[in-house]
Structure 1
Amino acid sequence: MEFTRTTLKATGFTAVIVSILFTLAVKAQVKSITYQESPDDFSNPERGFYLPAGEAPGELSGATLLKIRTTHSVKSRNAAYAAWVSLLYRDYLLSDFKNSAISDEYLEKIDRDFAAVREAGMKVVLRFAYTNKANTGNCGDENKICPPYGDAPKHIVLQHIAQLKPILVKNADVISVLQQGFIGIWGENHYTDYFGTSSANKAGVIPDSSWLDRNEVLKALLDALPKDRMVQVRTPQFKQRYVYGPKAPVTSAPLTAGEAFKLTDKARIALHNDCFLASSDDYGTFYDQGNSSSPSGPANAVLRRFFEADSRYVAVGGETCDDAFSPENDCAPLGHAEQEMAAMHYSFLNTAYNNQVNNDWEANGCMMNIKRRLGYRFVLNRALLPEKVKAGGDFNIKLYLKNAGFASPYNPRPLELILRSVKSGKIYSFTLLKSVRKWYPGQVELNGRIDLPGNLLRGDYQVLLNLPDGYVSLAGRPEYSIRLANKDVWEEKTGFNRLNHVVHVY
């Protein structure tokens, strides 16, 4: 319904009637559409259970990885469950280069692996280490792990990071997150010959000089990646002592909402826990490792609070490592596995270890919910969409969603409105949001407006949403786009989510 300028200037009772009729006309041109939530478990980028890659460096196969990504049957190490996998854990052992530069041949193998990952439509959780073997004996350590540990000195580590930087930058599009690695056995930054350890067989604390050395390595890693990628550290204290210095107390402040997702080091240091729910403090994950002026000691409660607050804004993942903490690490009501994952905003876990723990989740009935909720899970509840719009005018959209996952996306990812011509199939794409990283768990509401081009061809258009990868190199690939957890919306061939609505452009 249209009104002329003269009609809109009517006064008194006539003006009231005109106003009412105009409001009804506007409302009549906006359609409210509701959507049905899907209970299905399915693959989505940069989240879920990851698969460790066991192949030798340079031996990853794009065809094999594609089969893994598209088949809901990934099992390993006696797993009693299957999983969709979009993430590959890839660790590189640099044991042959502890006293020399990384060879060109080895660097080429790493680059070749990234090409295979990209071909398959997957991403990598990446780590480098110098040793994955522990010497055992009676040396005073409670785990009987004894020196020499077998890692490399700082100058070698920094040299290797400098060598790796061009490869990391080149392949950042398929790096989901980089783990600090390098220091200590397994790259877990604890049992180390060169960077200080709080193990009882050594000084029992990490001295200030060693904290500074560790910070230098972490800074080199942050600088070796584009600013839109994060580096995960093994314990929350490692982040505190980088951001605030070697003497930072365990009460140091976590990220705030205002600091989140900036290009600062503080916003880019993420967290991983490789002994999730393994003990009361997750085998030292939440433990004060001391410094030159304060002893090491328990700090479980305060460091957990830091982790819970900080994790809302950074990438969080890891693995379970021991079933000794059962039933606390089981499903509710005896355990609190899901409660812990939600509180600490977990996006990914290892599908291969420790399956004594993971299999209990399958046996006790919470595995399906964990698979669905790791990371983000966007459910569209309702949309308000115009039934007709004018070329060159505004297109207003209102979305009501729910993030039913444990976390929000941790890497940049836009939200696009797609108009697809019913007649020709031609696609027009408009950016509604530059990133959906602030779509935190809970209710999400979006009021969007786009300016339609004046030369937009008149006709009917399907309305869709697209949440593509933030990198141009992957943005056009549907396997890297986010699928909404709704029935009858996903288009596998395009990576678009249909809003099941047609708008007329006049």
Structure 2
Amino acid sequence: MKHHCNRHWTASVLICAALAACGGSAEEERAFVASGGPDTPGASPAVAGAPVYRALSTAPLAEVSLAPSDVDFPNPERGFYRFATDPARITATSLDYVVADGQRLVYTPADLSAYRTRDLPSSYLTKLNTGFAHLRKQGLKAVVRFAYNYPSSEADYLNAQDATLSRVKRHIAQLQPVLQANADVIALVQGGFIGAWGEWHTSSNKLTSPANKIAVRDALLQAVPASRQIHLRYPRDLATWYPVPPTVAQLLAPSPTAAARIGQHNDCFLASPDDVGTYWSASPAESAALRTYAQQASAVTGTGGETCAPPVAAQARMACEDILREGAAYHMTYLNRDYYAGFFAQWQAGGCMAEVSRKLGYRMQLQAVAHSAVAAPGGLLAWRVSLSNEGWARPMNARGLALYLARSDNTTVALPLPGTDLRQLGPRESLQWSGEVPLPATLPPGSYRVFLGAPDASQALSTMPAYALRFANADTAITGVQWDAQSGRLALGTTLQVP
């Protein structure tokens, strides 16, 4: 199989390529053998002993007519999150309210206060696995944080207790199998463990020293699956460790670099001139440099967190123009819907709450889709997809596109489209991919309805509609373009004829 990014082609090009490969005459114009020779544009490489693909050279491309939509569709791994509970306490019904409200993300603060001086018992680890299983059944994903204290007030945090470095490292090692086994329903892991609320300040065990922070960072990088990001509280730490912000190439690499795996959660977004210590510095120039770094790094990793009670109300940036400007600048992917209410009231009054909800994270809007109208079993199906990202950030986790062929007897064939990792698409960017995918040699003849989907990368979740990405496109009765909620795929209103 073969794919191209930003490659333009037409049906006539495919016809010419086919005839050139076959040395075809006018009589052979209706059928050709795609042998995949080196001089055949767009053909798959020849493999000794491989079956010969047969396709119809005159097969037209089915072009799909698409319309945008402003509806705030629920989508996984982005948007407003709801405050849940310790993942070990999540039940089969405790998060029904999240699903009912149309959200797909929850924040689960795991409370390790009972284990500051001892190992995590197997019973707790078992309950964690059970809680994640309940998340999976309800179609939700979690922002996870483990901490040794959750002070009940802003004044209590000074007395908050955490654990020794050796105990922290032991606990992270114990949690590694749980994190690995449940990576499919973990959107990301926040640093946690150090200090009050696990926010990497006010440690009772000197865990905020540079060496101890690095030790906890490295333990987390080892325990958290490489497919998932870790978000830490302070941009100063990231800028110290990785002075050059990460690149998209580092993010998309088979083994992403540590810099591309670590983002930021800002837990006092917009609440004061320095976001209540987030960008604190002895000099205004350094504070400005930290903000610039955070904006550049978050273009790759995204940012999340919450607002908080402003220390001085007049200094908080609570207007619509503030959130719309800084949400885009810092590539906000997720935000706590349960705190702080004062900001939400201002956004509601200013008329931008719906736009904020739509813009958080990614928002993939299809511009054009085309595919072969006719293809033979064992032959190549040509495809082209153009789309744009209308959100504030690129997707945090890998996710690709797939075409689905459905017969009237409900038989469905999935055709993943190689090279279509949606993380390639940053905010306000557009991409076009095109290529060819082989059809199964045993594909029965007939007429197939064609669907486009963006399923979860996890095999366990790939067929669950709640975990499918929904495109920001409107249903159109005339063309037959319609979101199929039962499968989590977009019906393109087109068909593929298999002779």
The 2-side partners of 1:462 and 1:100 are apart by 58
> Which sections of structure 2, spanning at least 5 residues, go unmatched?
1-11, 30-55, 476-481
State yes or no: 1:505 paired with 2:498: yes
**Aligned twin of 2:203:** 192
**Aligned twin of 1:115:** 133
The 1-side partners of 2:343 and 2:393 are apart by 22
Q: 1:347 aligns with which of 330, 333, 339?
A: 333
Question: Counterpart of 1:388 in 2: which secondary structure?
Answer: coil
> Per-residue deviation at 1:340?
0.9
Q: 1:29 aligns with which of 48, 53, 60?
A: 60
For the 8 Å contact 1:135–1:145, the answer to whether it is kept is yes
Superposed CA RMSD: 2.7
**Aligned twin of 1:330:** 318
**Aligned twin of 1:321:** 308
Q: How many residues align?
A: 443
Task: Give CA-to-partner distance per residue, 1:77-109, whole Å, 9 cap, x none.
Answer: xxxxxxx31111001121122222122332222
For the 8 Å contact 2:99–2:138, the answer to whether it is kept is no
The 1-side partners of 2:313 and 2:199 are apart by 21
Change (3 A) 1:279 1:503: same
Please list, as runs of the form range in 1=range in 2, the aligned pairs for 1:349-498 lying within 5 A after superposition.
349-421=335-407, 423-433=408-418, 435-442=421-428, 443-488=430-475, 489-498=482-491
**Aligned twin of 2:113:** 95
Task: Give CA-to-partner distance per residue, 1:104-151, whole Å, 9 cap, x none.
Answer: 332222222112111211111000111122898xxxxxxx77854311
Please list, as runs of the form range in 1=range in 2, the aligned pairs for 1:11-410 lying within 5 A after superposition.
29-54=60-85, 58-65=88-95, 67-72=96-101, 84-133=102-151, 147-195=158-206, 210-243=209-242, 252-262=243-253, 263-288=256-281, 299-323=286-310, 324=312, 329-332=317-320, 335-410=321-396
Amino acid aligned to 2:383 = I
Question: Counterpart of 1:31 in 2: which secondary structure?
Answer: strand
For the 8 Å contact 2:246–2:300, the answer to whether it is kept is yes
The 2-side partners of 1:120 and 1:328 are apart by 36
- TM-score, normalization by structure 1: 0.81
**Aligned twin of 2:25:** 6
The 1-side partners of 2:378 and 2:338 are apart by 54
The 1-side partners of 2:236 and 2:167 are apart by 24
Amino acid aligned to 1:35 = L
Amino acid aligned to 1:231 = I
The 2-side partners of 1:479 and 1:312 are apart by 26
For the 8 Å contact 1:419–1:461, the answer to whether it is kept is yes
For the 8 Å contact 1:255–1:266, the answer to whether it is kept is yes
Amino acid aligned to 1:71 = A
The 2-side partners of 1:51 and 1:121 are apart by 14
Question: Counterpart of 1:32 in 2: which secondary structure?
Answer: strand
The 1-side partners of 2:417 and 2:237 are apart by 37
Amino acid aligned to 2:354 = M
Change (3 A) 1:238 1:113: same
> Which sections of structure 1, spanning at least 5 residues, go unmatched?
11-24, 73-83, 137-143, 198-209, 244-251, 289-294
For the 8 Å contact 2:82–2:98, the answer to whether it is kept is no
Question: Counterpart of 1:347 in 2: which secondary structure?
Answer: strand
Change (3 A) 1:228 1:310: same
The 2-side partners of 1:326 and 1:121 are apart by 40
> Per-residue deviation at 1:53?
1.1
Amino acid aligned to 1:97 = Y
The 1-side partners of 2:87 and 2:437 are apart by 47
Task: Give CA-to-partner distance per residue, 1:49-102, whole Å, 9 cap, x none.
Answer: 111114x6633222342x334323xxxxxxxxxxx3111100112112222212
> Per-residue deviation at 1:316?
1.8
**Structure possessing the higher relative contact order (Cα contacts under 8 Å, 6 or more residues apart):** 2
The 2-side partners of 1:47 and 1:266 are apart by 21
The 1-side partners of 2:252 and 2:182 are apart by 21
Question: Counterpart of 1:287 in 2: which secondary structure?
Answer: coil
For the 8 Å contact 1:87–1:122, the answer to whether it is kept is yes
The 1-side partners of 2:351 and 2:163 are apart by 44
For the 8 Å contact 1:68–1:85, the answer to whether it is kept is no
The 2-side partners of 1:178 and 1:167 are apart by 12
Amino acid aligned to 1:448 = G
For the 8 Å contact 1:50–1:351, the answer to whether it is kept is yes
Amino acid aligned to 1:106 = Y
Amino acid aligned to 2:472 = A
For the 8 Å contact 1:273–1:285, the answer to whether it is kept is yes
Amino acid aligned to 2:25 = T
For the 8 Å contact 1:229–1:411, the answer to whether it is kept is yes
> Per-residue deviation at 1:330?
3.2
The 1-side partners of 2:263 and 2:58 are apart by 46
The 2-side partners of 1:145 and 1:64 are apart by 28
Amino acid aligned to 2:246 = L
> Per-residue deviation at 1:257?
2.7
Question: Counterpart of 1:131 in 2: which secondary structure?
Answer: coil
Task: Give CA-to-partner distance per residue, 1:297-346, whole Å, 9 cap, x none.
Answer: 862211111111111221421000134465863344xx321121112111
Amino acid aligned to 1:329 = R
